[in-house]
Structure 1
Amino acid sequence: MLTREDVLAGLPDYLHQILDRHASSHDDAPALHESGQTLSYGQLREAVVRLAKQFESDGIRAGDRVMLVAENSRLLVASLLALSRLNAWSVVVNARLSAGEIDNIRAHCSARRVLYGSATSKDAAGHAERANAVLRMATHLDSYHLGPLNEDCQPEFVENDPSRQVALMIYTTGTTGAPKGVMLTHRNLLYIAHSASLLRQLCSEDRVYAVLPISHVYGLSAVCLASLFAGAALQLEARFDPQELARALRDDGITLMQGVPTLYARLLELADAGQIELYAPKLRFMYAGGSPLDMTLKTAVEQRFGLTLHNGYGLTESSPTISQTRIDAPRSDTSIGLPIPGLDIRLMNNDRSACVAQGEVGELWVRGPNVMKGYYRAPDKTLEVLTTDGWLNTGDLARQDSDGALFIAGRSKELIIRSGFNVYPPEVEAVIAAFPGVVIAAVVGRPVEGNEEVVAFLQVANREAFDTTALKAFLAERLSPYKRPSHIHLLDSLPATASGKILKHQLKAQAEAL
């Protein structure tokens, strides 16, 4: 059985050193495939060095925060590694976020500069135009746009310890005016990269389909960095296209496919309708994560592909992986598997005074080399979830079987996971409340097959005059598509306690009855 020492053995100190693990004889091996073009490991190494020098000449210093507004691309991968060379922090942002979300994140982290992956993302190009960014060219990479220099940016202190030095930040929210930036260190991310490569038995012969957003920690560390750690090839896709995925599985020698459950559900839906043919002669490993896996979907996927659909669990604050099923021990249930090597777990009772008995449901706490440093510029929020001795409260409820396998029983938070992306109700509620005529808004999740929907309940000043269509247009300008409510319901009043606290469990019951 793998141990913490196994994962720590040979672990590089910094992200960019992931390329130095491979001998020069590996330089001609493919590293990144994108839109019919291939970048070798040698070319990627050269591109990273040149890009780091270009960033330095553009005023980026150690300790600076640099926003990367992009979708999956060679440029995004190289930028992460180039900024690591400078000891700068990458702030990875999905280009599909709204202008308001991006502005709030930029202001909160006081980014020195913003890089826009404009050549491969129309959304990034739109943000670049709004920011009056200037065009830059990069060796072996696509062109990009670079925003103005922020002279007010003060660099953060550079730690000598890679377990303390922040490599990047991923924001868990961005619309309320108080976004939370999760600070992940080099050690955090490399520990998950190595762990994932070992548990998936990745090797240099593998070709990994990478459609999970690298702006999401699942796609970043467990897919992108894990593949580079093993010397495997990544096939980068900016957005999920089931027709293209079916073609790649058939023609490109894809050996690993990882995605959220809705990806698999969509593939089966189109295959059943005769619109695509699912044939994957080289595929050896499938993995679902990012949201709950339904047993019906797991069974259907396994029957179609003739392979086990592995399952796992994690969160941004743990870089992200906490547990996953093992290749050598396939499961016929929807367990999220065993904790990853080197991770301590405990399941606490309601008042957090003791651990629950085996088999009972408790609040899941974890501790290990993958747990975040904290929330940026938010010590109070950090203390709410992270103890001084390193225990992270996931906010989720779980139970553990006698064989050590974990099962998620529910969420103690109100977090909604839609298509693998986190949706935080207060964020959506704040945007809705800004629309004229809204008195109060409450947002809950509604389970659907293999996913969750966002449902909004509103109390408005005048129901007859309220324009729901205008509200939807208002939200479309301010929220990413996955954060927008699928259903909006008007009520005379929202259920509440005497003190005025909204009774969300009643609203959730209404949503589930729809």
Structure 2
Amino acid sequence: MTMDGAVVVPGTTVGAQWVDDVLLAGPAGDVCFSLPAPIDRGMLRRLVRDRQMELAQSGLRAGGAAALRLPPSMAFVTHLLAVWRSGGQAILLDHRLTDYEVRRAIERLVPQVVVSPQRPVASGLRTFVDIDTDVASYCGHPAGTSHAVVQLSSGSTGPSKVIGRTAEDLVEEVLRYTQIEGVPEPGERIILLPSMVHVLGLVGGLLYGLHAGVELVPPARLTGDAILQAIAGGSKPATVLGVPFHIGLLASVEEPPSLPQFKRMTTGGELVPASVSSAFEEKYGVPLGNMYGMTEVGVIGTDLFGAHRPEILPAPGIEVRAVDGELQVRRPESPYLGLVDPARWSDGWLHTKDAGVVDPSSGLVSIRGRLDSQVSVGGLKVDLTEVEYTVGTLRGVEAAVVVFDNAITAYVQLNQPREIPSLEAELAQQLAPYKRPRTLRLLSQLPRTTTGKLVRDLTVLRKAVP
């Protein structure tokens, strides 16, 4: 079923038709969200059409760009789909970013419209919120590329990357999910834990769920008990989609009830230790599956039955190779907006910066960890280079080294007296909470090599602390 108001703009983001055909088609009475009140396809189509009219009144035009700074909510879902139906480009900004980070991003990407909450979003453990939005016109310009979605790799300051994906690329990934054995099937449920601003929640949850007719169920709160209540709240088979952080929430439940609806849990992000996966499977009696992917390309490989752990099998249509110990994924065009960095993409191959090997006989991929400075904190990717850059801009900071030592830790050399609380307060204005160093250590002199380069070895840095 196609709604009125569809926009197709040759040479831009191809807007409406793919949204109607791939995401919004289906019987009007089919439930696509449980919040816990049900949202069926007919209601969702009406909400998207209304959002589309609001965006047009605020200045969004076919081929334009809209920045969405919204928490997980129906407002986010409907605005996102409305932007795409308008033939627009959606710039996704994590709602946890500071005003400083958002301002930098908007100055960098210059959208025509910015959508944000009318009031500050209450902090807490809510996974899905009910908000009113403010749609503000901005003196931006039409989208400079044909990408349907634009995301920032790890924020908007320092050396973060701007990543774009076309409508065709998103549709291709959604259809790729349908070929992966073990994904939720039509008529089942996804207990949705990851943010829809990021690729796992966006494509693996929202877009795939809408396309496949899988009911999306965000728990009332981000706790182990609330996740189990969401599973128990319906009779349809349920897959929990999350990141390793969420495994700990379920593990914290001492005596979980019998849940015949619980089909499996699938996580993306960092690797799960064998001891953790074994304990989870023993406690709940369901497989703990794994997905490996990147914002730049989406899902790369999976092991949804836990049969190959810690290895994964490339997803259908994905070609992976290892060169000098680095995993690379075939990608015809660079996903990065702006100048192409050959260290990130070259000659049709995306450089993952992950260490790994590919078994030539089975095709199984072993991931050995990151090669660069990106780490995962609670399932959210953080670029330590960005954090280090920001710490280095603080007043009185002469040099800084930021490392991951079970948590983000900053070693700081000052050129004027500063107290740690004042540095932390200043940093809170520039970095989202999950990016901030948990510990700041002040040194009179940071260790350096004989050539003057800052030393990043954890053992040396720890010894340098007075």
User: Normalising by the residue count of structure 2, what TM-score does the alignment of the two structures yield?
Assistant: 0.87
User: Kindly tell me: are residues 494 and 17 of structure 1, through their superposed partners in 2, closer, same or farther at Cα, counting changes over 3 Å?
Assistant: same
Equivalent residues of 2:23, 2:207 under 8 A apart: no
The residue type equivalent to 1:398 in the other structure is: G
**TM-aligned CA deviation for residue 282 of structure 1:** 0.7
Residue matched to 1:193: 174
The residue type equivalent to 1:144 in the other structure is: T
Residue matched to 1:334: 310
Asked if 1:44 corresponds to 2:48, the answer is: no
User: Kindly tell me: are residues 106 and 22 of structure 1, through their superposed partners in 2, closer, same or farther at Cα, counting changes over 3 Å?
Assistant: closer
Q: SS of the residue aligned with 1:375?
A: coil
Decide which of 119, 138, 145 is 1:150's aligned counterpart: 138
Residue matched to 1:374: 335
Q: SS of the residue aligned with 1:94?
A: coil
Residue matched to 1:173: 154
**TM-aligned CA deviation for residue 176 of structure 1:** 2.5
- Partners in 1 of 2:195 and 2:142 — Cα distance? 27
Asked if 1:496 corresponds to 2:448, the answer is: yes
- Partners in 2 of 1:94 and 1:16 — Cα distance? 27
Identity %: 25
User: Kindly tell me: are residues 403 and 478 of structure 1, through their superposed partners in 2, closer, same or farther at Cα, counting changes over 3 Å?
Assistant: same
Residue matched to 2:64: 64
**TM-aligned CA deviation for residue 507 of structure 1:** 5.6
Asked if 1:317 corresponds to 2:296, the answer is: yes
Asked if 1:225 corresponds to 2:188, the answer is: no
Give the unaligned 5+ runs of structure 2: 1-12, 124-129
**TM-aligned CA deviation for residue 115 of structure 1:** 0.6
**TM-aligned CA deviation for residue 442 of structure 1:** 0.8
- Partners in 1 of 2:207 and 2:119 — Cα distance? 23
User: Kindly tell me: are residues 372 and 484 of structure 1, through their superposed partners in 2, closer, same or farther at Cα, counting changes over 3 Å?
Assistant: farther
Counterparts of residues 413-428 of structure 1 (less than 5 Å) = 413-428=372-387
1:357-407: CA deviations, max 9, x gaps? xxxxx1111014xx774322x2144x43112x4210111110123422212
Residue matched to 2:250: 267
- Partners in 1 of 2:262 and 2:178 — Cα distance? 16
The residue type equivalent to 1:496 in the other structure is: R
Equivalent residues of 1:175, 1:431 under 8 A apart: no
**TM-aligned CA deviation for residue 65 of structure 1:** 1.7
- Partners in 1 of 2:96 and 2:159 — Cα distance? 20
Q: SS of the residue aligned with 1:422?
A: strand
Residue matched to 1:250: 232
Give the unaligned 5+ runs of structure 1: 1-11, 124-140, 159-164, 350-361, 448-452
1:188-224: CA deviations, max 9, x gaps? 2222222224324433311111121011111101111
- Partners in 2 of 1:262 and 1:15 — Cα distance? 36
The residue type equivalent to 1:427 in the other structure is: E
User: Kindly tell me: are residues 189 and 213 of structure 1, through their superposed partners in 2, closer, same or farther at Cα, counting changes over 3 Å?
Assistant: same
Residue matched to 2:8: none
Q: SS of the residue aligned with 2:225?
A: helix
Residue matched to 2:435: 483
Equivalent residues of 1:256, 1:285 under 8 A apart: yes
1:170-191: CA deviations, max 9, x gaps? 1113343554321111122222
The residue type equivalent to 1:57 in the other structure is: Q
**TM-aligned CA deviation for residue 94 of structure 1:** 1.6
**TM-aligned CA deviation for residue 490 of structure 1:** 2.6
- Partners in 1 of 2:408 and 2:77 — Cα distance? 31
Residue matched to 1:460: 414
The residue type equivalent to 1:394 in the other structure is: T
**TM-aligned CA deviation for residue 96 of structure 1:** 1.2
Residue matched to 2:4: none
- Partners in 1 of 2:158 and 2:24 — Cα distance? 47
Deviating more after overlay: 487-496 vs 403-412: 487-496
User: Kindly tell me: are residues 235 and 258 of structure 1, through their superposed partners in 2, closer, same or farther at Cα, counting changes over 3 Å?
Assistant: same
Decide which of 313, 318, 338 is 1:343's aligned counterpart: 318
Residue matched to 2:6: none
- Partners in 2 of 1:303 and 1:15 — Cα distance? 46
**TM-aligned CA deviation for residue 46 of structure 1:** 2.3
Residue matched to 2:90: 90
Equivalent residues of 1:364, 1:395 under 8 A apart: yes
Residue matched to 2:358: 400
1:29-80: CA deviations, max 9, x gaps? 101222x222101221222223223212221012222111111111211211
1:405-429: CA deviations, max 9, x gaps? 2121122111111112111122211
Q: SS of the residue aligned with 1:379?
A: coil
Decide which of 149, 153, 165 is 1:184's aligned counterpart: 165
User: Kindly tell me: are residues 84 and 218 of structure 1, through their superposed partners in 2, closer, same or farther at Cα, counting changes over 3 Å?
Assistant: same
- Partners in 2 of 1:144 and 1:27 — Cα distance? 26
- Partners in 1 of 2:221 and 2:441 — Cα distance? 31
The residue type equivalent to 1:32 in the other structure is: F
Residue matched to 2:33: 32
- Partners in 2 of 1:45 and 1:366 — Cα distance? 36
Asked if 1:444 corresponds to 2:395, the answer is: no
Residue matched to 1:136: none
Q: SS of the residue aligned with 1:27?
A: coil
- Partners in 2 of 1:175 and 1:156 — Cα distance? 18
**TM-aligned CA deviation for residue 297 of structure 1:** 1.0
Structure having the larger proportion of residues in helix: 1
- Partners in 1 of 2:221 and 2:336 — Cα distance? 29
Residue matched to 2:261: 282
Equivalent residues of 2:185, 2:214 under 8 A apart: yes
Provide the aligned C-alpha RMSD in A.
2.8
